[in-house]
Amino acid sequence: MTADRREAINQYIQSRGEVRLKELEQRYTDVSSMTLRRDLEFLERQGRIVRIRGGAKSLAHLSMLKEAAYTQRQVANTDAKLVIADKAIRLLSPGRSVYIDSGTTCMCFAQRLPDQNLFVLTPAPNIALELVKNANVKINLTGGQLNRETLTLSGFNAIEYVKALNIDLAFVAASAFSLPNGFTCGDYFEAELKRLIIRKARQVVILMDASKLNSNMPYTFARLQNIYALVSDILLPDEYQKAARQAHVLLL
Amino acid sequence: MTADRREAINQYIQSRGEVRLKELEQRYTDVSSMTLRRDLEFLERQGRIVRIRGGAKSLAHLSMLKEAAYTQRQVANTDAKLVIADKAIRLLSPGRSVYIDSGTTCMCFAQRLPDQNLFVLTPAPNIALELVKNANVKINLTGGQLNRETLTLSGFNAIEYVKALNIDLAFVAASAFSLPNGFTCGDYFEAELKRLIIRKARQVVILMDASKLNSNMPYTFARLQNIYALVSDILLPDEYQKAARQAHVLLL
DNA sequence: CAAAAGATGTTAACAATTAACATCTGACAT
DNA sequence: ATGTCAGATGTTAATTGTTAACATCTTTTG
């Protein structure tokens, strides 16, 4: 069916960010390349992708790049972030009240979020906008002052809002982790918010790719014993596994 | 100078949304098309544009399209909104504390906002992200629940935040205006927020294109006598002008 | 001032896109 | 069942845009 194929192609582009016509030709040997071109043309008219020479790109992916350009940050380790996001998704269930932190890892997570009945609180306006496409998700932003580096809201208003809400499950990103200092980040106000979230949430899940291991940032916001699960892209080295076991932390 | 040309090309693309190589060739007759290609390549590497066959597109423009696609809304009356935005910009001065409402008119306004020392409060996450590029603007979001139709935050947290801040100048969008009912909008919570803003702000400026005249939405949030100025794309019909004069409203 | 790095121009080979037309397929009315 | 129609698909040639490689010019830097 035409519509199905187009949907599948769109999915593929959204998840990979980009596709070459060659790839599609290999994937869909039963239709001609002209048909695939027409599919891309169709999706472009829908405003879901942009065609580039030799293929097409996802708009969502492009806006992530745009943010990266603004914040002078590159989207590093995309594969790792996808792995983490997919593992973390499994911890969800419908009807929950969840907190989704800011950062590119959490953005990946948000993009993968199934469209089920959820209450979401986030301090990241870009993540909030990403979630608009999930019709069943109630989206709440903390409010506060926007840090243009991290695209994160923080400050007294954020704090007040979090205090007033109940969170089942908090997905929190960490900029760095080491055994002596625990989970750390680089902004005082963001650390303050994270600490509050971690105190208030029933279960805390840290999302962190392995490149953050054994490094430190100025502000500690959590230790192993404060969290429920730690989701990473690879199996952690032995010493970390041991520490996690001692602290009864689920490793994913 | 190379950098200047590239900057100019980028500006051009950002303002028009898209450019053909042909256009650039006509505009820059003193350099070869290969150089212009390389300029586009450069800008693409910076993540500011995407190259498409025969030219390039602005990322910012693409994300607007994306939003439009999500919200099923078309960006109508773009020209009118640009006229309004440019008129409204003149009311600004550095150091002010301003409120910028949600909606496409306000988005245009935000895109045109000069990069000067300003404190901005907005209930629109997309506008907040747009302002990230203005390094001198302090961006504050109200927080609250996100309405996925209007991309507007509202609710108790938004209200609390606004109560706590002082606003010099509020730029408020109106969905409809009629003499009997005044300025109206379609969402109860958004009307509530607008009313509060209008009470608290020192000066209130309504941004509204002429297509909204003589129509009504369920919730009235202001009357002519509550506002300082009304910015529209064209000269209003006589009866409105007369009413505005009586209420001492500046018409722009 | 010379060397190096960067920007620009020219060309030819290459690759992707378009347009036009032919063909197929499924839905629908008869 | 059959004819008809619209939309989807396939094929090809002509067009157009892109890349790569190299030569030349300009600017920066030691």
Cα–Cα distance between B68 and B104 in angstroms, integer?
A: 10
pLDDT score of B104:
79
Strand order in the sheet with A250-251: A250-251, A229-231, A203-207, A169-173, A97-100, A118-122, A137-141, B144-147, B152-154
Token output for B85: 């935005």
pLDDT score of A60:
66
Which CATH class for the B2-64 domain?
mainly alpha
Domain topology for A74-251: Rossmann fold (3.40.50)
Is pLDDT larger for residue A78 or for residue A193?
A193
Partner residue facing B139 (CB), from A68, A126, A145: A145
Minimal C-alpha gap between B183 and chain A (Å): 26
The three-class DSSP label of residue B179 is coil
Minimal C-alpha gap between A240 and chain B (Å): 37
pLDDT score of A20:
84
Q: Residue B61: pLDDT band by 50, 70, 90 thresholds?
A: low
At a CB cut-off of 8 Å and minimum separation 6, what does A68 contact?
A74, A75, A104, B47
Q: Residue B62: pLDDT band by 50, 70, 90 thresholds?
A: low
Mean pLDDT (chain B) is 82
H helix count then E strand count, chain B: 10, 15
Question: pLDDT digit string (tens) for A2-53?
Answer: 777 887 888 788 767 788 888 888 888 878 888 888 888 888 877 778 888 8
CA dihedral A81, A84, A86, A90 (to 10 degrees): -150
State phi, psi for B151 to the nearest 5 degrees.
Answer: 50, 45
Is pLDDT larger for residue B90 or for residue B69?
B90
Q: Could you tell me where in chain B the CATH 3.40.50.1360 domains are found?
A: 71-251
Query: By C-alpha distance, which of A63, A36, A35 is closest to A48?
Result: A63
Token output for B156: 């108790």
pLDDT score of B79:
58
- Which of A43, A46, A59, A104 has the most B C-beta neighbours within 10 Å, making it the best mutation to test the interface with B? A59
pLDDT score of A141:
94
| Contact flag B63-A68 (C-beta cutoff 8 Å) | no
Token output for A175: 């900029």
Q: Percent of chain B having pLDDT more than 90?
A: 17
| Contact flag B140-A141 (C-beta cutoff 8 Å) | no
At a CB cut-off of 8 Å and minimum separation 6, what does A13 contact?
A19, A43, A48, A49, A56, A57, A58
Nearest residue: Cα versus C1' of D10? A32
Check if residue A37 sits with its Cβ under 7 angstroms from strand C: yes
Check if residue A41 sits with its Cβ under 7 angstroms from strand C: yes
Chain centre to alpha carbon of residue A130: 10
Question: Nearest nucleotide (C1') to the CA of residue B32?
Answer: C9
Which CATH class for the A2-63 domain?
mainly alpha
Q: Per-residue pLDDT for A54 more than 90?
A: no
Query: By C-alpha distance, which of A90, A100, A80, A22 is closest to A56?
Result: A22
Q: Residue B97: pLDDT band by 50, 70, 90 thresholds?
A: very high
Q: Per-residue pLDDT for B56 more than 60?
A: yes
> Could you tell me if A144 and A123 are in contact, meaning their C-beta atoms sit under 8 angstroms apart?
yes
Q: Please spell the DSSP secondary structure of B95-148, one letter per residue.
A: T-EEEE--SHHHHHHHHH--SSSEEEEES-HHHHHHHTT-TTEEEEE--EEEET
| Contact flag A63-B63 (C-beta cutoff 8 Å) | yes
Interface of A with B (CB under 8 A): 46-48, 50-53, 57, 59-60, 62-63, 65-71, 125-126, 128-129, 131-133, 135, 138-146, 148, 151, 153, 156-158, 160-161, 164
Contacts of B129 in chain A (CB under 8 A): 67, 125-126, 129, 151
> Is residue B181 packed enough to be buried (19+ CB in 10 Å), middle (13-18) or exposed (0-12)?
middle
Cα–Cα distance between A28 and A41 in angstroms, integer?
A: 16
Cα–Cα distance between B206 and B252 in angstroms, integer?
A: 10
Q: CA-to-C1' distance for A41 and C24, Å?
A: 21
Average pLDDT over residues B73-96: 72
Partner residue facing B63 (CB), from A51, A66, A135: A66
At a CB cut-off of 8 Å and minimum separation 6, what does B138 contact?
A145, B118, B119, B120
Chain C nucleotides covered by protein, CB below 7 Å:
6-11, 15-20
- Strand D proximity list, CB < 7 Å: A 2, 5, 30-32, 34-35, 38-39, 53; B 20-22, 34, 37, 41, 51-55
The CATH number fitting domain B71-251, selected from 3.40.50.620, 3.30.110.60, 2.40.70.10, 3.40.50.1360: 3.40.50.1360
Interface of B with A (CB under 8 A): 46-48, 50-53, 57, 59-60, 62-63, 65-71, 125-126, 128-129, 132-133, 135, 138-146, 148, 151, 153, 156-158, 160-161, 164
Size (chain A), residues: 252
Contacts of B57 in chain A (CB under 8 A): 50
> Could you tell me if B177 and B212 are in contact, meaning their C-beta atoms sit under 8 angstroms apart?
yes
Cα dihedral sign for A57, A58, A62, A65?
A: negative
Cα–Cα distance between A48 and B244 in angstroms, integer?
A: 44
Q: Could you tell me where in chain A the CATH 3.40.50.1360 domains are found?
A: 74-251
Question: Nearest nucleotide (C1') to the CA of residue A52?
Answer: C16
Check if residue B38 sits with its Cβ under 7 angstroms from strand C: yes
| Contact flag B141-A138 (C-beta cutoff 8 Å) | no
Q: Per-residue pLDDT for B60 more than 70?
A: no
pLDDT score of B42:
82
Q: Could you tell me where in chain B the CATH 1.10.10 domains are found?
A: 2-64
- Which of A157, A160, A189 has the most B C-beta neighbours within 10 Å, making it the best mutation to test the interface with B? A157
Q: Could you tell me where in chain A the CATH 1.10.10 domains are found?
A: 2-63
Contacts of B148 in chain A (CB under 8 A): 132, 135, 139
Q: How far is CA A252 from CA A91, A229, A233, in A?
A: 10, 7, 8
pLDDT score of A69:
44
Chain D nucleotides covered by protein, CB below 7 Å:
7-12, 16-21
